Structure 1
Amino acid sequence: MKEFDDLYQLAKELSGSQEITVYEANQLFGEIGKYRFLQFSNHAIQGAIDLKEPNRVVMEYPRAIMHLMENNVPSFEDVFMIGHGIGTIAGHYSDKRFVIAEINEKVVELSRTYFSYSEDNVVIGDGRLILENQASGGFDYIILDAFTKEGTPYHLTTLEFFELTKAKLNASGSIIMNLFGKVKNDKLINSIYSTLKEIYPYTKAFSLPAEDLADTRNMIIVGSNKTLSFQSREMAGFLEIELEEGHRMADKRKG
């Protein structure tokens, strides 16, 4: 963890094969300060707060997602999220109605203990199954921010899953996905995007810059029932990109 100075471990939980740790550090992503963050066993940071300025949204991807939400449906009210992290986005919009699906109850416990998450809107369980039980056409946004040790769960990237999300969104709704991948020659990212395009008439992809095209970086992919707009200066460093065609992903058939 060379990007951190004076790293101090506050808590560690082992849930299945996933190791979940809370740290404090005096530096994060090159910024000096006092930070607390939640990290999974693949070293991916799932959320961070600035202890000197707790209301500041530290990480780029939630800032970019929040801009997309506010810019495209300024009056949005209802959001379904898969993946809780520390609750950055839902905590920021405490006046909105959120339903959050989180498969790991330890993540929720840590968010309450160390990151002051206080909303009573998290349901423990598989996000796809929980979404299936929601009313059709009820959401302005569905946000996918779910990661296991292996990456984004496969069953949250298929044609059938995207059909489900479209059924649960209203006429102007969008799905916003936080992913990790490469801009070029990334079969999985290309497949997710191509599958999404089969279901949604309007799609966009964004990426943080990296030194090399082969470097893995944070990406945001959006599918919408209406045209999408954004202000480049408000995207927290994310740039719009073009992705290559990939194969369409379908649910794995049992038996």
Structure 2
Amino acid sequence: MRKVLFHKPGSGQDITVYDTNEWDGEKGRFRLLEFGDQAMQGAMDLTRPDRVLFEYPRAILHLMALNIPDDERVFLIGHGIGTIARQLPKQRCTVAELEPQVAEISRTFFGYPNDNVLVGDGRGLLQAQTDASLGGLVLDAFTAKGMPSHLTSLEFFEEARAKLSPEGAILINLMGRGKQDPMLCAIGTTLGAVFPHVKAFILPSDDRSAGASRHNVLLAAATHPWRYELRSMAGFIETELEQGYVIRDGK
């Protein structure tokens, strides 16, 4: 059963909030945020609002816990329903969300409680941060059209590194067709031109069709080696991306 609570066109795409009594084969009470391209942007268990349903934020939170000191600030680009941000102390987290409606929906329909969301372009808002003031940067701005190109360029990653502390780290949520996907490989190569330690993690797909399935992929970049425990990676496994090209602004 699907009960629509909100539906309105956004910036070039519809935005829908609805309740359903089933999530990934599990019965219960769930609320979902979906864009018009059927891209799921957030899901909440209404009986346990702090439960993290998607695999990728669980893996990101694990990597953050082991690689970013608890007393360092985190900057998130892409808010959705606030899944990652609500797991962090509000004074430790600043969020950039491009779409004002999404920021409002997270409060009205998903009960996001904090006042740490800035509306605007993530790159511009990141540039306003003090140099060396951040322990972590999380990019969760992927859409059906891909990650916005100005958030994947060499120049952007250089700007980001300047805002990070010496031990700071970047985590990026992406979708792609695996370790040979040209765009994933290009983003990984571009990260590697700025950070000495880059890892890629892929969530295996249940779709066995020959090479056609899309996967959730996390990229992690830092000045230090990455630590993680496989059992806490929510199904993500480490993979090695092929060499790609370096992405530059305006190209």
- CA displacement 1:201-239 (0-9 Å, x = unmatched): 101001111134431121110110111010000001111
- CA displacement 1:172-229 (0-9 Å, x = unmatched): 1100000001114311111011111110010100111113443112111011011101
Q: How far off is 1:242 after superposition? A: 0.9
Structure-to-structure mapping, 1:13-32, within 5 angstroms? 13-32=8-27
User: 1:93 matched to which residue of 2?
Assistant: 88
Distance 1:34 1:203, change over 3 A: same
Of 43, 48, 59, 1:53 maps to: 48
User: 1:245 matched to which residue of 2?
Assistant: 243
**Distance (Å, rounded) in 1 between the aligned partners of 2:25 and 2:69:** 33
Of 173, 181, 190, 1:186 maps to: 181
User: 1:202 matched to which residue of 2?
Assistant: 197
For residue 62 of structure 2, what is the amino acid of its counterpart?
H
User: 1:39 matched to which residue of 2?
Assistant: 34
Amino-acid identity (%) = 45
Distance 1:64 1:216, change over 3 A: same
User: 2:101 matched to which residue of 1?
Assistant: 106
Runs of 4+ in 1 over 4 A off after TM superposition: none
Distance 1:149 1:239, change over 3 A: closer
For residue 23 of structure 1, what is the amino acid of its counterpart?
Y
User: 2:227 matched to which residue of 1?
Assistant: 229
**Distance (Å, rounded) in 2 between the aligned partners of 1:182 and 1:147:** 14
**Gap runs ≥5 in structure 1:** 1-5
User: Any conservation in 1 of the 2:39–2:144 contact (CA below 8 Å)?
Assistant: no
**Gap runs ≥5 in structure 2:** none
User: Any conservation in 1 of the 2:76–2:96 contact (CA below 8 Å)?
Assistant: yes
**Distance (Å, rounded) in 2 between the aligned partners of 1:222 and 1:143:** 9
User: Any conservation in 1 of the 2:142–2:173 contact (CA below 8 Å)?
Assistant: no
Q: How far off is 1:7 after superposition? A: 1.7
**Distance (Å, rounded) in 2 between the aligned partners of 1:156 and 1:103:** 13
For residue 190 of structure 2, what is the amino acid of its counterpart?
T
Q: How far off is 1:14 after superposition? A: 1.1
**Structure 1 stretch displaced more, 233-242 or 20-29:** 20-29
| Cα RMSD after superposing both structures | 1.3
TM-score normalised over the length of structure 2 = 0.95
For residue 111 of structure 1, what is the amino acid of its counterpart?
S
Paired residues, what number?
Answer: 248
User: 1:3 matched to which residue of 2?
Assistant: none
User: 1:216 matched to which residue of 2?
Assistant: 214
- CA displacement 1:103-149 (0-9 Å, x = unmatched): 10000111000100011111111000111111000111000001345
